[in-house]
Amino acid sequence: MAKEWTDGFYLSKPWRKTRDAYYKLQRGRCERCMAEYMAGARNMEDINPGIIVHHKIELTPDNINDPHIALSFDNLELLCEDHHNKQHKAKPKRYSFDAAGNIIENKNYK
């Protein structure tokens, strides 16, 4: 979840342009799903769409204005909801949606 002090940044034109360009570069696919596919641990049809452009080095009030942290492709990663939740140790959701908008039940939901 975004913090109050990030609101202006995530609504800014530089971030939106960077985010959109990075998404296109990754062809809309989750980078961690792709890495699992390349390692033979996932099938191509199981690669999730990336929905979150994630900062590898977390933004803070001290570095949010540093373009080398906030806007650099080197610090970004396109993640699906599952991988982003794992990164932030979020509670998994019972349902999600595929690229066509169909409901998918999470078999690992507890």
Instruction: Give the span between the Cα atoms of 84 and 34, in whole angstroms.
Output: 14
Q: Where are the domains of the chain?
A: 4-105
Residues in Cβ contact with 109 at an 8 Å cutoff, skipping those fewer than 6 apart: 92, 93, 94
Element (H, E) at 6: none
pLDDT tens figures, 52-92: 999 999 999 999 999 999 999 999 999 999 999 888 776 66
Model-level pTM?
0.75
Q: Assign residue 63 a region: left if phi > 0, alpha if psi is -120 to 50, beta otherwise? A: alpha
Mean pLDDT for all residues in the chain: 89
